[in-house]
Amino acid sequence: MAASLSTLHLHHQLTFFRKPSFSLLNKSVRSTRITASLEFNITFAPPKPKPKLPANLQTDAASPSLSPGQLFIPWIVRGEDGNLKLQSNPPARLIHAIADAKTQPKKKKEQVKKESGGNVKAKMEAEPKRSKAARRFYNENFRDQAQRLSKVLAAAGVASRRSSEELIFGGKVTVNGSTRVDPGRDVIYVNGNRLPKKLALKVYLALNKPKGYICSLGKKESKSVMCLLDDYLQSWDKRNPGSPKPRLFTVGRLDVATTGLIIVTNDGDFAQQIAHPSSNLSKEYIATINGVVSKRHLFAISEGTVIEGVHCTPDSVELLPQQPDVPRPRLRIVVHEGRNHEVRELVKNAGLEIHSLKRVRIGGFRLPPGLGLGKHVELKQTDLKTLGWKL
């Protein structure tokens, strides 16, 4: 009877954990006929073996013993003897590093406070660092760039850039002890005279240069093309009140015997871009020849010649139709090198003699037909674009 009750008790325990859909057990419960021969073969998985530590891995004897249910987080560290050992506490250097990391922001704040003179809030609210591309975009589009002192002096009409540098090195210019200035804020003195903060307006003129005038300002015995602009400069104050007079110069040069188109400005960047060989601007000349011009001469001019150690060839050479009022033959020659006396050397190398030479075009800008000798006209924005100026 005791065996039957124990068997029934075990049966109830199993039916509690198992689904009641097994018909065999249900029938046994209803009939209450349990035989003592019913046996259950219940086995459990063997315990996992403990991992074997390496031979050179030692356990820390100082580590406290752990209770059976306590979680163990091993730390494998290398001791002073060079051997690896297993311990339950983190390494001392890690604890020190965590302690230093917690105190680092406080040190940084104290350092910021020291650098800012006590105004920590103003220092922390300063403008954040921008990327290199963002700073470049800001400097090119919004910020007023500092300019070289010689450039500011030239724009103010004191002298050319080269002469301005001579004044600077001669100790005749004073400005905060620097060679880069902001003309809107810095006070500049030249020979004891204060330079006006307001710079002159940009001027762009096209001049029809007559024969006998030079393009430089150095020779006093020769007539300069700037003498042709005296009336323009004298009336400057009436047309532009409050603005200083510009210091004008020519873009490139024409020799004393050559007439035609010459550009006059006070914009150094514009002059540098137009006159530089990299601009690759074509220049058209009309050469009046003494004598007869044949095909052989045209071929010789087209083949080019060596000027200043460089072989120069023209873009095009054309014999123009003869006009009733001009008995001499005329050649239309287009070049782009811009070498000194290039057209004259090309014609001379072909065995011809030039009677007169006139420049009629630079880039896409042509000398206005109604512009008389010694006269000038102000260039518009469209004219500057035809000259290749990128605004």
Residue 231: how many CA atoms within 13 Å on its side-chain side? 4
Cβ distance 221 to 212 under 8 Å?
A: no
Residue partners of 12: CB distance under 8 A and separation at least 6: none
Whether 297 and 346 have beta carbons less than 8 Å apart is answered as no
AA identity, residue 204:
Y
Please confirm, yes or no, whether 255 is among the known catalytic residues: yes
Instruction: Determine contact, residues 103/93, Cβ cutoff 8 Å.
Output: no
Do the Cβ atoms of 347 and 285 come closer than 8 Å?
A: no
The CA distance from 333 to 317, in Å, is 5
Element (H, E) at 84: strand 84-87
Q: How many CA atoms lie within 13 A of 119 on its CB side?
A: 6
Instruction: Give me the catalytic one of 255, 269, 315, 325.
Output: 255
* Tokens (6 digits) for 61: 């004897």
Q: CA 192, CA 269: separation in Å to the nearest integer?
A: 28
Tokens of residue 87, six digits? 């311990």
Distances (CA, A) of 24 to 30, 42, 229, 375: 10, 19, 125, 126
229-245 exposure pattern, b = at least 16 Cβ within 10 A, e = fewer: beebeeebeeeeeeebb
Measured over the CA atoms of residue 271, residue 276, residue 282 and residue 288, the dihedral's sign is positive
| Residues forming the active site | 255
